[in-house]
Structure 1
Amino acid sequence: MTYALVRPILLDLNSFAHATGLHPEAVRRLVALGLLEPARDAKGDLCFPPAQVALAARIQRLHTGLSLNYAAIGLVIDLLDRIEELETTLRSLSTRH
C-alpha cells in the first residue's frame, strides 16, 4: 500500500473555468464528451488536475484554429498523442545506435 505524502492540487469547476477562459457549462460539456477527465471530490463535485488546463487549451486551439467539432477533436488528440509516443520511441532508438 502506498500513501501520498502531499495532497494533489486540484481545481474546482469555477477555478478551472476561470483558468481556461471557458464557461463552466462548456467545461461540463467537454467532460460529458470525454475530452476532459476530472476527478471528483468528497461531495461528488468536479475537480481538475492542473495538467487539464493545458489539455483544455489544446482543445480550444483545435476547435477554433482548425474548426474541428468536438467529436473530431477527441480523435485528433489521440492521433497526436500517438505520434508523439512514436517520435519519442524513434528518438530513443536512434540515440542507441
Structure 2
Amino acid sequence: MSTHHPPRTSATARNTTVVHYAMVPVPALGLDGVARRSGLHPELIRRLVALGLVDAHRDASGQLVFPPSAPATLARIQRLRTGLNLNYASIGLVLDLLERISLLEAALRRSGTRSDQLPWI
C-alpha cells in the first residue's frame, strides 16, 4: 500500500523555497502520540501550536497532526524555557535564529567554505 506524501516546503533566508521530499512514507503523529513522545501535556502542546512554536495542521476530522520532527522541536522548546528561562515569545525568536544558522551552515558546507575563511568570525 503506497501513500502519497506531498512535498513539504519552507522559506529560507533569501526568500527562496526549499522543497523536502520524503524518501519513505513518514507517518504523521497525532496529539496523543506527540504528548507521549515528548512527555508534555496535550494542552501545553495545543498552546505551543497556537503560539506558532510547533508546526501542526488539522486533518479532515479536525484533529491536530504533527510532523515526525515535532517531539524534537518540543524538547528544544523545553530546554530553552527551563535552561535559559525564556518566555515563549523569545523562544520563537531563538528557534527562528537557530533555523537560520542551520541554513547558513548547510550553505557553507555545500560551498566548501571553512568558517576560518570568513571575515566576521
What TM-score results when the alignment is normalised by the length of structure 2? 0.69
The reply to whether residue 23 of structure 1 matches residue 16 of structure 2 is: no
- Please say if residues 77 and 91 of structure 2, whose CA atoms lie closer than 8 Å, have aligned partners that are also in contact: yes
After superposing the two structures, state which structure 1 stretch, 31-40 or 83-92, moved more: 83-92
After TM superposition, give the deviation of residue 15 of structure 1 in Å: 1.5
- Comparing 34-43 with 6-15, greater Cα deviation is found at 6-15
Q: Secondary structure at the match of 1:47?
A: strand
Using CA pairs below 8 Å that are at least 6 residues apart, which structure has the higher relative contact order? 1
For normalisation by structure 1, the TM-score amounts to 0.85
Aligned residue pairs: how many?
93
Match of 1:93 in 2: 111
Larger helix fraction of residues? 1
Establish whether residue 57 from structure 1 lines up as the match of residue 82 from structure 2.
Answer: no
Runs of 4+ in 1 over 3 A off after TM superposition: 5-8
Structure 1: gaps spanning 5 or more residues: none
Q: Percent identity?
A: 57
For each residue in 1:18-66, what CA deviation from the matched residue of structure 2 results, as whole angstroms up to 9, or x when unmatched? 1111001100010010001112122111011211111111111111111
